[in-house]
């Protein structure tokens, strides 16, 4: 396994998926939107050549995830802790398994295409970090050419400074950084206008 794509998502259960969108869409509507976004992300990910896909999931069971997204993917339950802990664990697992590069994404960025993912992996051939800023101040993609846990530590997750704090750490570590196009996540009611 040379390259691994780590996909963070959750089972689309009403009331537990996309909770920040429930005021606008209702519990069922928010879960349905999450289901559509996740299926689109998985479809784009399947277009990649010579990349293993590993879905890190929350909610639902392994059987439910396989019935939903297919039996041909690798699945792992998400690690406990905050997003930094979960990312650290997923990247460590990927590199311990022999990956030469790994990228982590979520499933709430409708404009994330297989072309962007391919570009991100290509940049890791001569950069240690690839990153795609989200318009809300976070990032929709982070990739590493080696295990560097520091980039996930001391970050104020779910705030508008996640991208900036990550960059500051990367610069302190003197990492070569490849920047991807800025895209939008669908997290809050005001983001719904960005849907295709």
Cα–Cα nearest to 4, from 170, 180, 146, 188: 146
**Residue 127 confidence (pLDDT):** 98
**Exposure b/e, 163-172, CB count within 10 A at least 16 = b:** bebbbebbee
Is the pLDDT reported for residue 169 higher than 90?
yes
Sheet order of strands, 74-77 included:
74-77, 52-58, 3-10, 101-105, 139-144, 129-133, 177-179
The domains of the chain are located at 3-191
Asked if 58 contacts 77 with a C-beta cutoff of 8 angstroms, the reply is yes
Q: What is the pTM of this model?
A: 0.97
3-state secondary structure of 20: helix
- What's CA 56's distance to the chain center, in Å? 9
Distance CA 164, CA 68 (A): 35
103-116 average pLDDT score? 97
Phi, psi of 137 (to 5 degrees): 100, -5
Distance CA 138, CA 187 (A): 11
Q: Write down the residue that tokens 């689109």 correspond to.
A: 40
Beta pairing partners, 142: 104, 131
pLDDT tens digits, one per residue of 64-81: 999 999 999 999 999 999
> What average pLDDT is seen over the chain?
97
Distance CA 33, CA 38 (A): 9
Asked if 143 contacts 104 with a C-beta cutoff of 8 angstroms, the reply is yes
pLDDT tens digits, one per residue of 125-162: 999 999 999 999 999 999 999 999 999 999 999 999 99
- What's CA 8's distance to the chain center, in Å? 5
Six-digit token string for 11: 């089972």
- Please report which confidence band the pLDDT of residue 196 belongs to, taking 50, 70 and 90 as the band edges: confident
Residue 73 CB-density burial (10 A; 0-12 exposed, 13-18 middle, 19+ buried):
middle
Beta pairing partners, 64: none
**Residue 1 confidence (pLDDT):** 64
Is the pLDDT reported for residue 120 higher than 90?
yes
Tell me the CATH class for 3-191.
alpha beta
């Amino acid at each position: 396994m040379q390259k691994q794509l780590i996909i963070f998502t959750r089972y689309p259960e009403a009331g537990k998926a996309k909770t920040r969108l429930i005021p606008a869409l209702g519990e069922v509507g928010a879960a349905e939107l999450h289901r559509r976004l996740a299926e689109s992300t998985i479809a784009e990910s399947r277009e990649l050549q010579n990349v293993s896909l590993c879905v890190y999931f929350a909610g639902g069971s392994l059987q439910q995830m396989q019935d939903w997204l297919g039996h041909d993917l690798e699945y792992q339950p998400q690690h406990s802790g905050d997003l930094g802990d979960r990312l650290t664990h997923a990247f460590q697992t990927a590199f311990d398994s022999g990956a030469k590069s790994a990228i982590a994404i979520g499933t709430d960025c409708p404009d994330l295409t297989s072309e962007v993912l391919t570009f991100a992996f290509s940049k890791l051939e001569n950069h240690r970090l690839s990153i795609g800023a989200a318009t809300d101040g976070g990032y929709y993609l982070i990739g590493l050419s080696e295990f560097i846990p520091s980039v996930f530590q001391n970050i104020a997750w779910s705030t508008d400074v996640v991208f900036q704090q990550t960059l500051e750490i990367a610069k302190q570590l003197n990492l070569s950084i490849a920047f991807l196009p800025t895209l939008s996540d669908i997290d809050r009611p005001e983001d719904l206008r960005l849907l295709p």
